[in-house]
Chains A and B, each alone.
Chain A
Amino acid sequence: MRRISIVTPKSLDALGRVIAVTRRAKVQLVDMAVTSEDSLYRVHMKVEGPHDEVQWLVSKLDKLPEVLKIDEGNIDINY
């Protein structure tokens, strides 16, 4: 299981774009939480799937201009 953490502007359009990409990934979205902070959303995902597919998802998400920051790591950190 991998963790993906994303920062977007506080906009449901941006969040909708993040979800539109995620639903095309060949991974299982085990858990997802969105928290907000000032003018930002923080999206926390737990995904399960082959390494390459997780990478596909991360790099596709990182193509969105609204994804201000993205990082990926082991599940135990920071969630």
Chain B
Amino acid sequence: MVDKLVEVFRSYGIKHVLGIPGGSIMTLYDALYNQDIEPVLFRHEQGAIHAAEGYARVARRPAVVAVTSGPGAANLVTGLADAYMDSVPLVAITGQVATTIFGRDGFQETDIPGIVTPITKFVYQVRKPAEATAAFKAAYEISMVGRPGPTVIDLPRDIQASPAPSHEERIVVNMEKFIPPPVDEDKVRIAVKYLAEARRPVILVGGGVLWSGATPEVLELSKMLYVPIVSTLPGKAAVPHDFPLYMGPAGMHGRAEADAALANADVILAVGTRFSDRTWGRFKELQEAVRSGRVKLIHIDVDKSEIGKNVKPTVGIVGDAKEALRKIINLLDAAAVSNQKFVAWLLEIRKKYEEAMSNVADSTSGFHPWRALKVLRRAAPRNTILTTGVGSHQMWTEIAWEVYEPGSYITSAGLGTMGFGVPAALGAKLAARDRPVLCIDGDGSFQMTMNNLALVREYDLPIVVVIFDNRALQLVKQWQIYMYQRRIIATEFSKMPDFLKIAEAYNIDAVKPENYAQLESAVARALRNNEPLIVDLTIDSESDIVLPWVKPGDWLTSAILPEGMEVKLTYEED
């Protein structure tokens, strides 16, 4: 029946299958022999699934992964959890031992449905040949409908090898519930009223805005009312950073002006966000302010389980972000509010932060991550797709990397998975070969999945990787410095591999720049010429402290700010 499955792949326009074969998935791979669907062979299944995440976010449709049973399938677990947290659509097909030996602890038998149950939107173990194509179709469609997410089809080897069935058996699921309901007009009217009466309204943009394609509506609403926009970390990808009213991402390592905007708003329009503790630090202040009526919270989300999960809104609107925002715009009187003073105050905070950081970077010997990102932004064309690892370097990109095109910033936000950057960059490049792809990685993160660099030459995927090489698991070290009285343990590398030699081993050019000019020209040249490059950027660990920082469990206004930045994040109205 695998030929039928390949036909279904083709009918969905699937061009690539990412993964690694093995005994229990060989029949499916065999069906791809001499077909127009290309298997893309990774060096570790974790690489394949993070690449699928990058691919899906760029292509804006589900990516397909195929791996063998047991270890192959188990190696997908981190990526599935990552995709589930960040709402990324993909379908993983895992091989499985033959149905006849289920439960007998056969070679490479693992209960994958049992393992991935809590980290997938849908999982189905095929037990009859006639279910296989229907199960794949259900998995593909479920992964994309409503709030996206990863799905898994577990496909036993005897089923793969069985003759094509004459009929297709229905997979019983309730798909309708994922289709966004029509937006409740009465609630929209209340939201409009609050927005019109607001003195310090703020729009909080989450990753849902990107999937809904609601960026134009967000910008239009912001312009109409002169409302500052703040985002979550995934929402950062949804807003062009040269839009003058975008204050950046708020939260643990967000921008000070964004933290200030959220903490001082009297009306918050939160769109496509799940109220993560990483964005808010803690919820107490917000919950109390909303309960007392001091803050009106309007929450729009396509997933109704998100409304009220962490913070009960004043108005909760279940529906598609684009449609809901369009309705709000249509009902709004454009002349409603325009709080120039509040926005000017926020922009003043931004200016002070930039000045303070510039001074910090000036007084740092060698490269400072904040300035390196400014230089790299200049070197990279506007449509460059950025991926990141996880750690301080990632937090620096949250603060300092400017996104111009929606969807061009790809990071592991909810799960915070080190090792995400390189494979995600490969997947992004596979989905958009005509776009420059840059990965900002940490030396720790890079070492987790660098084996997948083999694909750069094998599939001609010229990505540029800049390793922020601080010889440390810096973000954890920063926590040790501030929260564990500088008791530094297990966060510093004493012996490092030579990254230039690693690059050489994979036949990729590499540089270790000595100054910003060398960094800029090397990266600009590689991206312009569509050539792969690895940059080993030496960063002094002692001065690599990411600020602002809202410590876990603190409220936004207690953000620790960089040296020389004397501002209060509490607004005083005169």
Residues of chain A whose beta carbon lies under 8 Å from any beta carbon of chain B: 9, 13, 16-17, 20-21, 24, 39, 52, 55-56, 59-60, 62-69
Contacts and interface: CB of A to CB of B under 8 A. Distances in A.
Contacts of B113: 13, 16
Contact of A62 (B114, B123, B138, B177): B177
Nearest to A69: B174
A56 B303 contact: no
B172 interface: yes
Contacts of B292: none
Interface string B165-176: 000000011110
B122 interface: yes
A59 B117 contact: no
Contacts of B123: 13, 17
B142 interface: yes
**Residue from B124, B178, B305 having most chain A Cβ neighbours under 10 A:** B305
Contacts of B114: 16
Interface string B147-183: 0000000000000000000000000111101100000
Contact of B121 (A20, A24, A55, A65): A65
Contacts of B60: none
A67 B178 CA distance: 12
A66 B175 CA distance: 9
Given A16-B114, A16-B117, A55-B308, A65 B173 contact: yes
Q: DSSP majority for the B interface? A: mixed
Contacts of A60: 305
Given A13-B123, A63-B305, A20 B117 contact: yes
Given A13-B113, A13-B123, A17-B117, A65 B175 contact: yes
Nearest to B172: A9
18 contacts: A9-B173, A13-B123, A16-B117, A20-B118, A21-B118, A24-B118, A52-B308, A62-B177, A62-B305, A63-B303, A63-B305, A65-B121, A65-B175, A65-B177, A66-B174, A68-B173, A68-B174, A69-B174
A42 to B, nearest CB: 14
B124 A13 contact: yes
A65 B174 contact: yes
B115 to A, nearest CB: 11
Interface of B: 113-114, 117-118, 121-125, 138, 142, 172-175, 177-178, 303-305, 308-309, 312
A71 to B, nearest CB: 13
Contacts of B125: 13
Q: Top 7 A-B pairs ranked by shortest CB distance?
A: A59-B305, A65-B173, A9-B172, A20-B117, A68-B174, A20-B118, A65-B122
Contacts of B121: 63, 65
B125 to A, nearest CB: 6
**Residue from A13, A52, A68 having most chain B Cβ neighbours under 10 A:** A13
**Residue from B177, B303, B304 having most chain A Cβ neighbours under 10 A:** B177
Nearest to B306: A59
Given A20-B117, A65-B122, A56 B309 contact: yes
A36 B114 CA distance: 22
A73 to B, nearest CB: 18
A56 B178 CA distance: 17
A55 B117 CA distance: 21
Contacts of A65: 121-122, 138, 142, 173-175, 177-178
Contacts of A24: 118
Nearest to A24: B118
**Residue from A39, A52, A55, A65 having most chain B Cβ neighbours under 10 A:** A65
A59 B304 contact: yes
Contacts of B142: 65
A29 to B, nearest CB: 17
Given A63-B303, A63-B305, A68 B172 contact: yes
A20 to B, nearest CB: 5
Nearest to A23: B118
Contacts of A13: 113, 123-125
Contacts of B117: 16-17, 20
Contacts of B312: 52
Nearest to A39: B172
A21 B121 CA distance: 12
B268 to A, nearest CB: 20
A35 B445 CA distance: 49
B152 to A, nearest CB: 11
A56 B308 CA distance: 9
Nearest to A60: B305
A20 B117 CA distance: 7
Contacts of B305: 56, 59-60, 62-63
B383 to A, nearest CB: 35
A24 B305 CA distance: 14
A21 B120 CA distance: 12
Nearest to A7: B174
Given A59-B304, A63-B121, 8 more contacts: A13-B125, A16-B117, A17-B123, A20-B117, A21-B118, A65-B142, A65-B178, A68-B174
A17 B312 CA distance: 27
Nearest to A13: B113
A60 B309 CA distance: 10
Nearest to B113: A13
Contacts of A64: 122
A66 B123 CA distance: 10
